[in-house]
Amino acid sequence: MSYLLELLGRGLHNDLGDLLDRYFWSPPRQSIQQLQASCLACPDRVDVHFQLGLAHLRSLRLDDAIACLLQACRRKPDYLAARLALAAAFDEKGQTAQALEHLQIANQNQGGEAPVLFAIALCLEKLQRPTEAAEYYRDVIARSPGFVPARERLAAVAVVLDQLDEAIQQYRCLVEADDGPRTRTALAHLYFRRGDYDVAVEEFEAAIAMEPENWTLIDDEVEALIAGGHLREAVERLHNLIEQREGEPFADLYVRLGDLYSQTGDDPAAVLNYRKALDLQADYLEATVKLGTHHLGCGRWEEAADAFYQASEINDQALTNYIGMGVAQEAAGRRAEAMNSFDLAAAVEPNSTLLLTEMARLQLKAAVAEEFHRAFEVKGDPAANDVHLDNDDLMQRQIERHAEEIQRHPHHADLRYRYGVLLRSEGRLGEALEQFEKALAINPAYTKAIIKLGITQQELGQIEQAVETFKRALDLKPQYVDLHYRLGLLYTDRRQFEEAVRHLEKAAEHSPGNQQIRAMLALSLQNMGLMDRAAATWRSLRRLHQATA
């Protein structure tokens, strides 16, 4: 993943309706028909027009909502709730300029409301007025320093405007507020982009040190009880330790509990405790892998595949940090340290390949089982009765299917990336390298493919080429920054986004890559963290199975 691309997408999940509903939302007391009758009976009652508009907005009858809310605002221009609901309705309809107009009126009538100021800034961004948007984001932060989305969006705008000092300042504040590895890594990327290579190294090191695997709590008494076969007593001991932590237990304790419950066949308790560990440490690789392994043992292949994919993403975070640290060390003239970091990355990488290939196997196994049970009308859970397929056979079939699909869709970067990962798992490094190179020819900003290409070159003894490839992982060209920034903003308005995609497809009607436009856009959105990568990968694998079955 590219943390710089993710940085551009942070804070964009805030829908105007969700941001502002605290000002206008109220539970429905009457039906639309009753409210319409009340409007006819009492046309001067502003509150009735507002409630009717709100009812239409809840039902996504946007034209009716706008008409009623406009009536309320005309009759009472300073009616804040109606004005903000009207702005939300215009935004939902994709009419950003009109939404902005009513937000600004609301701000004039009752200034200083941080969510309203943030909504204005977001509209200005959508209207490609980033400099003005930045002013409003600064105003939000001045009034509400803990408003995280405002800092995230101000940093994104600052990167696009090449104002790295301000972007770094915002991420320093974000680190102080919630010091997590992802935020640290984003900050490291910003320092590198500004040319502060030694500081970037320090931040990458800090991000690596934060990984839960580097802080493991082992209780000797628990381990002694387990070694002696006293599992019930070990479980009790762990529960007591969690209670002693007074609501702030180590995630390790829950993982160990999950292990013991899994060992004793208590499926619900095992899943519950693994999930509690992940609630405390979302990027806990060991907990995620163990959850996937437990699902696998229970025959829940889709759940296992999802957990293994999430684990591969977590492992890729560590991989990105080691590569980033190495590139920063190389830029700082610390070559020996850089080569050591690249070696550490090469040592970490096989985990990602293993987890992704296991997900591919499980997808095919789940798909075949589903077809088997459907064809023979077998009752019950398709995964309950194992369809016996050899792991090697499953892998070979996935590789063959990817090869066939690439013949049909040669311009699909993510498909080539996954094919390269599968080939790597079989030791076919030369062929894998070719697929990663072709993926990057399609999407030069595909950071995961850049890193896999560099690791593969490293394994093939192409050390200097690998170093140059790794440098590309942090060297995001300004044009790619701008394109991804615009794409992220466009995606916040699904109607305009779909219209733009249809326009692109029509313009490229006779182009060989026309069918891949949606796939390329989806990959870019995944790289920005605006689409669920795990769900997208699973859907892609299912489509591949259906296309080649």
- Asked whether residue 123 is assigned to any structural domain, the reply reads yes
- The per-residue pLDDT for 9 is 87
- The per-residue pLDDT for 370 is 52
The verdict on 406 and 541 lying in the same domain is yes
The verdict on 33 and 136 lying in the same domain is yes
Average pLDDT, the chain: 84
The verdict on 539 and 399 lying in the same domain is yes
pLDDT digits (tens, 9 = 90+) for 100-121: 999 999 999 998 899 999 999 9
Percent of the chain residues past pLDDT 70, beyond the cut: 82
User: Any idea what the CATH number is for the domain that residue 396 is in?
Assistant: 1.25.40.10
- Asked whether residue 361 is assigned to any structural domain, the reply reads no
Query: Per-residue DSSP letters for 384-403?
Result: TS-----HHHHHHHHHHHHH
Amino acid of residue 126: K
- The per-residue pLDDT for 506 is 62
Looking up tokens 């219209």 gives: 499
- Asked whether residue 471 is assigned to any structural domain, the reply reads yes
Q: Which of 314, 344, 378 is a domain's end point?
A: 314
Greater confidence, 74 or 546? 74
The verdict on 400 and 301 lying in the same domain is no
Q: How far apart are CA 85 and CA 103, in angstroms?
A: 10
pLDDT beyond 50 at 378:
no
Is the torsion defined by CA of 461, 464, 465, 468 positive or negative? positive
The verdict on 521 and 410 lying in the same domain is yes
The verdict on 406 and 493 lying in the same domain is yes
pLDDT beyond 60 at 540:
no
- Asked whether residue 381 is assigned to any structural domain, the reply reads no
Q: How many CA atoms lie within 13 A of 170 on its CB side?
A: 27
How confident is residue 211, by pLDDT bands cut at 50, 70 and 90?
Answer: confident
Residue 516 DSSP symbol? G
**Helix H or strand E segment including 378:** none
- Ramachandran category for residue 230: left, alpha or beta (phi over 0 → left; psi -120 to 50 → alpha): beta
- Asked whether residue 232 is assigned to any structural domain, the reply reads yes
Q: How far apart are CA 182 and CA 1, in angstroms?
A: 11
Domain count, the chain: 3
How confident is residue 432, by pLDDT bands cut at 50, 70 and 90?
Answer: very high
What are the structure tokens assigned to 19, written together?
């941001």
- Asked whether residue 183 is assigned to any structural domain, the reply reads no
Q: Which of 195-209, 240-254, 326-340, 417-431 has the lowest mean pLDDT?
A: 240-254
Q: How far apart are CA 521 and CA 105, in angstroms?
A: 36
Range of the domain at 406: 390-548
What are the structure tokens assigned to 15, written together?
């829908």
- The per-residue pLDDT for 487 is 80
- Asked whether residue 170 is assigned to any structural domain, the reply reads no
How confident is residue 516, by pLDDT bands cut at 50, 70 and 90?
Answer: low
Q: How far is CA 530 from CA 12, 92, 463, 533, in A?
A: 8, 18, 34, 9
Other Cβ atoms less than 10 A from the Cβ of 471: the count is 16
Q: Which of 143, 170, 197 is a domain's end point?
A: 143
- Asked if residue 454 lies in contact with residue 323, where contact means CB atoms within 8 angstroms, the answer is yes
pLDDT digits (tens, 9 = 90+) for 9-31: 888 877 788 888 888 777 777 88
The verdict on 404 and 532 lying in the same domain is yes
The verdict on 282 and 404 lying in the same domain is no
How confident is residue 384, by pLDDT bands cut at 50, 70 and 90?
Answer: very low
- Asked whether residue 209 is assigned to any structural domain, the reply reads no
- The per-residue pLDDT for 20 is 86
The verdict on 302 and 431 lying in the same domain is no
b/e map of 304-322 (b: 16 or more CB within 10 Å)? Answer: bbbbbbbbbbbbbbbbbbb
The verdict on 306 and 453 lying in the same domain is no
Q: Which of 58-72, 228-242, 357-371, 423-437 has the lowest mean pLDDT?
A: 357-371
pLDDT digits (tens, 9 = 90+) for 271-322: 999 999 999 888 888 899 999 999 988 988 888 888 888 888 888 888 999 9
The verdict on 416 and 540 lying in the same domain is yes
- The per-residue pLDDT for 388 is 47
Other Cβ atoms less than 10 A from the Cβ of 6: the count is 20
- The per-residue pLDDT for 21 is 83
- The per-residue pLDDT for 63 is 95
List CB contacts of 125: < 8 A, sequence separation 6 or more.
Answer: 133, 153, 157, 489
pLDDT beyond 60 at 375:
no
Q: Which of 150-159, 379-388, 399-408 has the lowest mean pLDDT?
A: 379-388
Over range 486-506, report the average pLDDT. Answer: 71
For the chain, the distance separating the N- and C-terminal CA atoms, rounded to the nearest angstrom, is: 31
The verdict on 93 and 228 lying in the same domain is no
Q: Which of 143, 158, 181 is a domain's end point?
A: 143
Helix/strand/coil percent split, the chain, to 5: 80, 0, 20
List CB contacts of 441: < 8 A, sequence separation 6 or more.
Answer: none
pLDDT beyond 80 at 515:
no
Other Cβ atoms less than 10 A from the Cβ of 244: the count is 9
Angle ∠(429,540,404) on CA atoms, nearest 5: 55
What are the structure tokens assigned to 292, written together?
């996937």
pLDDT beyond 70 at 511:
no
pLDDT digits (tens, 9 = 90+) for 259-268: 999 999 999 9
Over range 482-507, report the average pLDDT. Answer: 72
